[in-house]
Chain A
Amino acid sequence: MNRDCQARIFTFLLTSARGCVDEPPLYGPLRLLEAYSLLLGMLKSDETDEFYYKLNEKIEALKDRCMEDEGEFIEGLDRVLEELTGHIIDEY
């Protein structure tokens, strides 16, 4: 991970940690999803399981739902986690 990426992820995580103290509770999961996408973007694609990129497409679509429909957002979170669980069981 280069210095630019280090600045991005560490600043994002620490600013989010402080922000989550005052922000609506649902912003917490949103920040974690954002961190997932940020971290994934920093990985070398040839060393990264393609599954995580496919999952990220679903996560990207999910982020907007947080503001638009809380119920759908939470259901979407359950779905991506279910997919991840299946992947981990199959792969490891």
Chain B
Amino acid sequence: MTLDELIVSRRSVRQYNEKKVERDKIESLVNAAIWAPTAGNLQLLHFVVVRDKGVIEKVKLFSPGMPKTAPCVIAICADLEEARLRGGEFAEKNTPVDSAFAAQNILLKAHQIRLGACVVKSYNKKSIGRILKLPGAMMVLMLITVGYYDKRPKAPARKSLSEVLHYENWESEMKQDE
């Protein structure tokens, strides 16, 4: 698939089958995440991969937005106090943005290797932090469920370019002759 095809055909997959996600595939996802841009090149993100059913069940208990049957969960974590120490308020504010860049790389890489994935933001940070035994001020910025799937979700509607694209300033219209 070309990059354009990958971007357009990726879906948030919320139903997975039982097949286990192989370690080399998980590592290829995290490797993709490592290469995402980070504010000030601070590279503060850590990735806790959970495959143990018991731990996933516990994570799920405190994550109302999590799909029912996730065989693998990647928790993107960072220590925002460390971010502030190393990069000031700028880094503290932008580390969650970095986690989104990393997440998009994971989602696209997963799609490329025929895995489904879905970002989960509805979870209790403190509870998940305790379950994953995160040290100090390390916290979960995002959860991503990963797994094989049988049925690909259909595409939700997307806005058209003309609804969102503005050239030069807000009031301009798209030029047809370019």
Chain A residues near B (Cβ < 8 Å): 7-8, 11-12, 15-16, 18-19, 23, 27, 31, 34, 64, 67-69
Segment at the interface with A among B24-32, B57-65, B160-168: B57-65
13 CB contacts below 8 A, A to B, read A11-B62, A12-B61, A15-B63, A15-B64, A15-B124, A19-B64, A19-B65, A34-B64, A64-B153, A67-B12, A68-B156, A69-B156, A69-B157
Q: Which of A16, A19, A69 counts the most B-chain CB atoms under 10 A from its CB?
A: A19
Interface size on B, residues (CB 8 A): 16
Interface of chain A, main secondary structure: helix
Give complex CA distance A63, B61 in Å: 18
Give complex CA distance A34, B121 in Å: 16
Known: A23-B122, A27-B122, A64-B14. A15 touches B62 (CB 8 A): yes
Query: Across the interface, do A12 and B64 meet the contact criterion of CB distance under 8 Å?
Result: yes
Give complex CA distance A19, B64 in Å: 8
Q: Top 5 closest A-B pairs, CB basis?
A: A68-B156, A11-B61, A16-B64, A15-B62, A15-B124
List B residues 115-161 near A (Cβ within 8 Å): 121-124, 127, 153-154, 156-157
The smallest beta-carbon distance between B5 and chain A, in angstroms, is 21
Query: Across the interface, do B61 and A7 meet the contact criterion of CB distance under 8 Å?
Result: yes
Q: Which residues of B contact A19 (CB under 8 A)?
A: 64-65, 122-124
The smallest beta-carbon distance between A3 and chain B, in angstroms, is 13
Query: Across the interface, do B124 and A68 meet the contact criterion of CB distance under 8 Å?
Result: no
